[in-house]
């Protein structure tokens, strides 16, 4: 079951993020940071355990970032990661942001979900402040990918237009 995170998920979220931050796949998040931003997290719960996590970060102007995506390796390949991305995308669509971006190693996965690769230099400079907490720092080999929320909204609006016959 996918759901928004609650305060008492903080420790489970942090444990999960730590598995991946140790290898630089996601950025480390402190307990306090997760707790303060708990409303930005989604979790995937299975058998009363948090086995997937993902969050949306605002504050980049018209961009919103999908970050802290991780699935417990014991549950990988079951579609949980995809569901977490889809839930985040749905939430991003309800904001006033124009683009959803991600810095990732899972390029083929995001490509399949409609993201495309962009030059990292096109992201706002302040995004890189967060990289001080990353193992790789200036040797960043992640790929920046974006999905246009504006075009998705337009497509949706066109799909919901009444057909000529219905007018
Ligand atoms: C990436 C991750 C979230 C995928 O979670 P998951 O629940 O296994 O994903 P899904 O089951 O929805 O898999 C979707 C597809 O993506 C593929 N995929 C998974 N991880 C991938 C990766 N690192 N690179 C490319 N493709 C990947 C899967 O093989 C699967 O493909 P298939 O449908 O053809 O079999 C998970 O492997 C993980 O936590 N990785 C470590 C942390 C990380 O890299 N996070 C991404 C940071 S943005």
Higher per-residue pLDDT: 15 or 123: 15
- pLDDT value for 136: 65
77 CA distance to ligand 1 centroid (A)?
7
Task: Work out the angle between the directed axes of helices 80-93 and 149-159 (0-180°, nearest 10).
Answer: 80
Residue with CA closest to ligand 1 atom 40:
70
| Mean pLDDT across the chain | 89
Total domains present in the chain:
1
| Alpha carbon distance 4, 24 (integer Å) | 25
- pLDDT value for 92: 94
Query: What CATH number does residue 155 fall under?
Result: 3.40.630.30
In this prediction, residue 106 has a pLDDT band, given cuts at 50, 70 and 90, of very high
- pLDDT value for 131: 66
Q: What is the DSSP string of 72-115?
A: -GGGTTSSHHHHHHHHHHHHHHTSS-SEEEEEES-HHHHHHTT-
* Lowest pLDDT segment from 81-85, 88-92, 123-127: 123-127
| Alpha carbon distance 133, 59 (integer Å) | 18
| Alpha carbon distance 167, 162 (integer Å) | 7
Q: Give bridge partners of residue 148 from the DSSP assignment.
A: 99
What mean pLDDT do residues 36-59 have?
95
CB-ligand 1 contact for 77 (6 Å cutoff): yes
| Alpha carbon distance 53, 84 (integer Å) | 7
Q: Per-residue pLDDT tens for 118-149?
A: 998 888 776 666 766 666 666 667 899 999 99
The highest-confidence range among 99-103, 117-121, 122-126, 161-165, by mean pLDDT, is 99-103
Atom of ligand 1 nearest to the CA of 83: 12
Domain extent, residue 90, equals 2-166
Contact 70, 26 (CB under 8 A): yes
Whether pLDDT at 43 is above 80:
yes
CB-ligand 1 contact for 20 (6 Å cutoff): yes
26 CA distance to ligand 1 centroid (A)?
13
């Amino acid at each position: 079951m996918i759901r928004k995170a609650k305060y008492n998920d903080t420790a489970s979220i942090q444990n999960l993020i730590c598995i991946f931050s140790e290898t630089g796949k996601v950025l480390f998040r402190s307990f306090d940071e997760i707790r303060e931003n708990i409303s930005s997290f989604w979790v995937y719960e299975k058998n009363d355990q948090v086995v997937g996590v993902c969050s949306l970060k605002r504050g980049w102007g018209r961009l919103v970032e999908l970050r802290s995506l991780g699935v417990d390796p014991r549950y990988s390949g079951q579609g949980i990661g995809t569901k977490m991305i889809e839930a985040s995308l749905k939430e991003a669509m309800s904001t006033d942001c124009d683009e959803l971006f991600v810095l990732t190693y899972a390029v083929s996965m995001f490509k399949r979900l409609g993201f495309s690769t962009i030059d990292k230099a096109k992201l706002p400079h302040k995004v890189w402040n967060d990289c001080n907490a990353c193992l790789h720092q200036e040797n960043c080999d992640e790929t920046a990918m974006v999905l246009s929320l504006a075009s998705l909204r337009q497509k949706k609006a066109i799909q919901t237009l009444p057909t000529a016959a219905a007018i």
